[in-house]
Amino acid sequence: VNNKKYLKTVSTLPNKSRRGLPLFYKDIDKYNVKIWYQSPVGRGIDYVLPKKIELNESFFTGLGLSLGDGLNNPSIRNTHYTFANVNFKLVQVIYKWLIDYFKFDSKKIQIFLNIPIENKNYSTKYVDNAKKIFPRGKIKTYYLKRFKEATLLLQLSSPIFQLIYLNIFNRLKHNILRNRLNR
Q: Is the pLDDT of residue 5 over 60?
A: yes
Distance CA 65, CA 9 (A): 20
Q: Is the pLDDT of residue 51 over 70?
A: yes
Lowest-confidence pick of 21-35, 38-52, 72-86, 92-106: 72-86
Phi, psi of 50 (to 5 degrees): -65, 145
Supply the pLDDT for residue 145: 86
Q: Is the pLDDT of residue 58 over 90?
A: yes
Cα dihedral 124/129/135/138 (nearest 10): -60
pTM listed for this prediction: 0.85
Distance CA 110, CA 107 (A): 7
Distance CA 124, CA 21 (A): 46
Task: Tell me the pLDDT tens digit for each residue of 89-143.
Answer: 999 999 999 999 999 988 889 999 999 988 777 788 888 889 888 877 789 999 8
